[in-house]
Every structure is written in C-alpha cells, then in structure tokens.
Structure 1
C-alpha cells in the first residue's frame, strides 16, 4: 500500500525541481550585426568558391612540415595549458549547474543498550535529508549556470584559436629556417667568390697589373662575407631552437628544411578566399568574443533576479525501528520541512549597482565583439592585398637577380683579362648578393602569406 506521507515527501522534492528555472530574466540575446562589408576590398563574393581547404593537413603539402606541425599539436605546452583551461571551465560549469538540484543525503544508524535488568535492546534508524536548496523561482541560478557554460565554450574557442595560431607560428618558424638556410648558403657562396677574387687580385698585384687598393677592397669584401657566414650560422641555430620550443620537443634533422629554393612552390597551398566576409563569424577569436558576450548577458539575468525574494528549503525524512530486519517494513515514518524566505528590502543600492555594472560590461563586450570582427576583416584584407602583388614582385625580382648575375659575370671576366676595373666588379658583386637576399625574402613572404591567409580565415571553412 502506498502511504500518503511518502507521497507528500516525494512531492516536495519533485516540486522544487520543477520550479527550478521556470522564469528567466536574461535579456533576449541578439547577435550584433557584423560591422564590416560583405565582400573584401577589390574582390566580389564568389558563390562557387566552396572547395575551401578545411584543416592544416590539407594546406601543408610538404610531408616534413606536416609531421613537424603534427608534433607541435601534440606536444606544445601552450596548447596543453589551453586544454587544461577548458577542463577547468567545464568543471566550474558543472559546479554551477549542480546548484539547480537539491543534494540528498542518506544515513543509517543502529543503537544497542543494556537495561538494569540485564536485557539487551537494539534499535536502528534511517534518515534522508535534503540540504539547504534554493528554489530558482526567478532563474538566478540558471542564469549563473548559463554564464558558466558560455565561459566554458569561450575557453574551447580560445584553445581552438591557440591551435590555429600554433600551426601558423610553427609553419612560419619552419619557413624562416629554410630562408635563413638560403641566406647562409648565399653568404658562403659570396665568401668563396670573394676569396677567389682576392687570390686573383693578389696575383695581379704581384705581376704589376693591379693596384694595392684593389687588394684591400677584395680583402674587405671577403671579410664581410666571412662575418656574415658566422652570423647566419648563429641565426640558423637559433631558428632551430625556436622551432623546437614551438614543437615542444627536438625536431629530427630529417624533418628540417633545406634552402627555401629547394621547397616545392606548392609546399603550402593557397586557400581560396572568394567568399562572403560572413565566414569571419567562424573564426575562433570571434566565437570566443561572442561567448563572452552571451555570458555577460546571463549575468544581467542573475543581477536582475537579485531584486526578487529567494526561498531556501531544508527537508528531512526517515523511518525508525526497533529491529534492523524490519527497518522499512514496520518503522515509524518521520518527516520535516522548513522553508526560509529572504526579502531584499534594504541593500544600500548594492543590487542596483551590480545590475548597472553587468549592463555596462555587456556594452563593452559588444564593442569587443565588433572589434574582433573588424580586426579579422583587416587581417584577411591585408593578406589578400599582399597576395595580389606578390607574383608580380617575385617575377620582377627573379629578373633582377638574373640581370645582376650577368652583369657581375661580365665585369669579373673583364677584370681578369685586364680590360675592366675592380670597382665595377665589387659593385656588381654587392648588387648581386643584395638581389639574391631580396629574392629569398620574397620567397619567404610568399609562403608566410599563404599560411597567414589560412589563419586569417579562421583555419579554413568547415
């Protein structure tokens, strides 16, 4: 037979759970309009541009670079810290959400006693208690739980942004190492050429066909190249150290790049960008800003709820029996219920100040969200602007290097046969070296621009 007291006792708990969150005082959330044009400067939206590469594995075509980035994603300490932050935020959300439900404790005790006549008696008692539980009549606890959830989701977006940034920085470090390998190779070639020219000039001085000043100039060029070789060796070693730090482990030598000229032109794919600027709403930093905004929106609901009464419940229920064997069969049912109501009559303006503070914070976060979108738009626009001029500049620099090489070869041959002067040789050699360095820098910029464009679009479309 079902006892009416048991029914009432269960109804108290059920009612408290049903009342939780029946009202929400959160403001209706409306996503702020993106304060940027729909299309990029000088580019229209392309409805056919749907085959956008999605992740770095598809963008980084060089297998060595791909493996290096994979190691970084696994071992980088900054990324591990971001993941730990996600776990901490998730735990805090769980803690806030737990406040929506009562805590029920159960305890079983048994007592034995001897009377003056020597008889032994025993009794057992089972108690169940609901700890102090606040009825969420005006949604305060649910607002706080929603705020905690949005903070957790923001931390996930932060980790995703850290991951994308890590991919970009690791790729850039790998490309920088390749460029500095090229600079070192050029310095070594220039030093070897200067040493050869110095030897020829000294022979000509001994034969009386060269001036002492030519030997001094040749020696100066050789020593400058020698110093540059030493400096470039240091830079290459530091590049490797920087790459190891990003990866979080020592990168094997077989995964390091050679010179930048040795890389395939498609070592890093070009991500198509003929899409609407709405894609920026998928960037992790923009998503993070929006979750922060939603969290503050929920905090406003909690601040509003502070103006209303809070009702806390404390309940207990149990049965007592003289025998453990029939504890629940024939025991006496006991229950108690104690409500506690708190009215926010005099708060010295504290609740109003908290509400105004939350509303002001929301205004600031709206501005931060809009700024995140504008910054994202600028990143993509700048990357596209550089992309549009790189090919022409690269072609011009290749032609400039070829012309400088021809001029230097002619000047050197003329000097060796005695029909030219050393000043022309020296000038043409320095021009060639400078042109080669500029070409290496452009090749580095080309690869870096590709990964920057991928990063600026939020790691590709999904």
Structure 2
C-alpha cells in the first residue's frame, strides 16, 4: 500500500508550488548612461578585461598576490561563508521532497482489569516494522518554494561577495606593494640628500674653522643635514610598517623582496582597459551582482510571507507489518498502513502573519536601496579613476620637468657658492626644492600605479576565473 502512496505524494509535491512572490524585474539604473567627460574610445564595447596576471606583469608582485589568494584570512572566511550558505541552501531545497524513514518499534503495555475486555489485567506486546513518512507539507501556495528561492539567491549573493573580496584583495596587495616600492625610493632620495647635506656641512665647518665662513652658514648647513637625516629615518620606519602591512595582507611570511625602484622608474604606457558603459558594471562587478541576488532573495521572502495566509496541507503515512508476537511479524496478514492528511487554516494569529508580510516588504525596499547604492558607488569609483587617468601623465611630465629644473638650479647654486659669489642660503633652498621635487615625482608615479589598480578593480577585473 505504501508503495502506491509514496509516488502519489511525490507527484503532488511536484505539482504543488505556484510561487506567490512578486515577479522580479531589474530596477532601472540610478546613474547616467555615460561617465563624466569620458572619451568615446574609452566607452567601447563589452570587451573582456585582461587577467590580473597580464595586468600586473611584475613577477614579484604576481607571487605576492598568489600567496595572498592562498593565505589571506579574510578571504578564507569569505570562502567558508560561501560553503556554509551553500549547505543552508541544500537543506532548504531538501524540504521540497518528502522524507522517508525506516522504523522498528516494540510497544509493551499493561492494561488494568477494569479496562480489559476479559475483566482481567494483562500485558500486551506490539511489534511493528515499516516505512514512515513524517509530516510533509504539500506546497500548494509556494511557501517552501519561495524559501528555497530565497536560500538560493542568498547563496549566489555570498558567492559573488567572495569574488568581490578576491578583487579587493588583489588590488590591495598591488597597492601595498607599490607603496613599499615608493617608500624605499623616497628613503633612498632622503639618504642621497642627507649625504649631500653632510658634505656641505663639512665644507662649512672647514670654512668656519679657518675663519672664512660664518657661524650662520655653519648652523644652517647643520640644520639641513639633520632635517634630511630625520626624514630618512622616518621613511625607513614607514618602509618597515609597509612591509608589516604586506605581511598581514598576504597572510604568511614574505619571500625576500627586491622591491626596487625600477617599477617606478620605467615608463608606463597608459593601460587600455575596455571601460565600456556604466550598464556593463551590472554584469562585471560581483558586488553589484551580489546586491541584486540579495534583492531577489528579499523578493522571494515576500512570497513565503504571503503564503502564510493560506491553508497548509501536511501528510503523515506509515506502511509495514505489525504483530503481537515477534515471530509473527512477517507472516501473512500482518500488513499495516496508515495515511493521515491534515489541513491547517490560520484563523487568528494576533496579526503575526500581517506583520511578517510588512517586514518582508520593508526588507525588499531596503535591499532595493542597497542595490541602487552599489551601482552608484561603482559608477563613482570608475568615474574617479577615469578623472585621475586623464591628467596623471601630464602631472608626471610636469614633475619630471620640475626635477630637471631643480637639479640644474642645485648645480648652479653649488657652483656660485664654491666660487664665493653667494652665501650658503641659495644652496640650501636649491637642495630643499630638489628633494621636494624628487619626492613629489615618486608620489605622482605611485598615484598612477594605484589609480590603474583602482580602475581595474572598479571595472570588476581580477575575477576568480582569472586566477
């Protein structure tokens, strides 16, 4: 008998489940159709972004990124969260099908004399073996289906969040590595300026001892030397802190790093990234896709809240054999079955169902606002990176010209000082200007590298498929 019941229940479960969730329609994009002042060449078709290995060709940096993807703890937590939500989805999806359990029981009971048909007390045994289907809900109004859809969208959102974390990690490691390179270069420049200032101080000391120079020039040179010395020590401290930050990002001990200034000194051609239109961010950016999946999950939750207003139908069934004697359990005529359908109609819930539906609707509106904010944030990040990229090369050219002029000024000032034409003050000012110009040039080159990383990440580059 049970063999006939179970397929029928399974068939009903497949027929049930018309979702009461509102039909999902992607909201209109809350941003402009193009980026501010974007060139037509930048907003080309939906070409694929380069892989991160192609975007970051420096081998030492590639090695650090690979280590971070393997050992970074925040990324590991994100991956484990994805596994956990995937398991939750499997649990919720299993609720759509009936459960079948094998059972075996032995019931021993004493019947008092006044309740016995024979007028005498007695002890009875009942043995039963069979298959049991616990209370199974037929999903006529799509409550379980909506909960399954909600769990699926939450899993997909978590998976996209993991990919977004990977993109952020790749960009963070690259930026921190570039920062380390720049700090080492600035420490080197401070050391060179300190050496030059020390030579000038020694010359002024000799002049002062010989009664030719003034104490003012001597103390001016000494102050200059000590200032560059303090600046170099400060940069060395920042270098150590940058290395510590890199260790934290990578999540393991760092290999021996060259991290020389060649990354900053070489000429960097503009990176031609297929920026595309803002609408393409909806498919490129995993954080936007995650926000949309979360919106869909909230949409499905409305369906579950609506279904709670309607009757629920549950089935309980058992099929097997039963006997008063264990030896007779499988003999002919011992078959036993039961089939118990139950329908429950909510009459009075104290407003609970109505409040749950109101909560579901409010949560859907919250997720809609979060989705629109994710799009606006992505639009701003791309627009900001494009704004910097339009002028950064000109800034580097200007700083390079400034360094060349400052270098020539320093040479001329030293020549005039050595010839006794000028005091030491023009030399001091020229050295200060040269060091400031060299430092700002390094910072401008660092800005370009970091802005390229920012644009790559803002466009959704560095997805897991690229690793």
**TM-score, normalised with respect to structure 2:** 0.89
Structure 1 residue 334: Cα displacement: 1.4
Structure 2 unaligned spans of 5+: 108-124
Secondary structure at the counterpart of residue 422 of structure 2: coil
* Residue correspondences, number: 446
Structure 1 residue 332: Cα displacement: 3.0
Does residue 89 (structure 1) correspond to residue 85 (structure 2)? The answer is yes
Structure 1 residue 329: Cα displacement: 8.2
Aligned partners of 2:2 and 2:318 also within 8 Å: no
**1:55-113: CA deviations, max 9, x gaps?**
311210101101110110111000000000001111111111121111111135699xx
Instruction: Give the equivalent residue in structure 2 for 1:127.
Output: 130
Aligned partners of 1:397 and 1:438 also within 8 Å: yes
Relative to structure 1, is the Cα distance of residues 6 and 309 closer, same or farther in structure 2, using a 3 angstrom cutoff? closer
Secondary structure at the counterpart of residue 210 of structure 1: coil
Does residue 71 (structure 1) correspond to residue 73 (structure 2)? The answer is no
- Return the alpha-carbon distance in structure 1 between the equivalents of residues 44 and 376 of structure 2: 25
**TM-score, normalised with respect to structure 1:** 0.90
- Return the alpha-carbon distance in structure 2 between the equivalents of residues 356 and 197 of structure 1: 78
Instruction: Give the equivalent residue in structure 1 for 2:346.
Output: 344
Instruction: Give the equivalent residue in structure 2 for 1:272.
Output: 273
Relative to structure 1, is the Cα distance of residues 147 and 236 closer, same or farther in structure 2, using a 3 angstrom cutoff? same
- Return the alpha-carbon distance in structure 2 between the equivalents of residues 109 and 263 of structure 1: 82
- 2:34 aligns with one of 21, 39, 55: 39
Query: Is 102-111 or 305-314 further displaced after alignment?
Result: 102-111
Instruction: Give the equivalent residue in structure 1 for 2:176.
Output: 173
Aligned partners of 1:45 and 1:276 also within 8 Å: no
Relative to structure 1, is the Cα distance of residues 332 and 18 closer, same or farther in structure 2, using a 3 angstrom cutoff? farther
- Return the alpha-carbon distance in structure 2 between the equivalents of residues 81 and 147 of structure 1: 22
Secondary structure at the counterpart of residue 348 of structure 2: coil
Instruction: Give the equivalent residue in structure 2 for 1:438.
Output: 440
Does residue 246 (structure 1) correspond to residue 249 (structure 2)? The answer is yes
Structure 1 residue 324: Cα displacement: 9.4
Aligned partners of 1:20 and 1:100 also within 8 Å: no
Relative to structure 1, is the Cα distance of residues 304 and 203 closer, same or farther in structure 2, using a 3 angstrom cutoff? same
Relative to structure 1, is the Cα distance of residues 302 and 269 closer, same or farther in structure 2, using a 3 angstrom cutoff? farther
Give RMSD over aligned pairs. Answer: 2.5
- Return the alpha-carbon distance in structure 2 between the equivalents of residues 262 and 290 of structure 1: 40
Structure 1 unaligned spans of 5+: 112-121
Relative to structure 1, is the Cα distance of residues 44 and 446 closer, same or farther in structure 2, using a 3 angstrom cutoff? closer
- Return the alpha-carbon distance in structure 1 between the equivalents of residues 322 and 275 of structure 2: 76
Query: Is 39-48 or 362-371 further displaced after alignment?
Result: 39-48
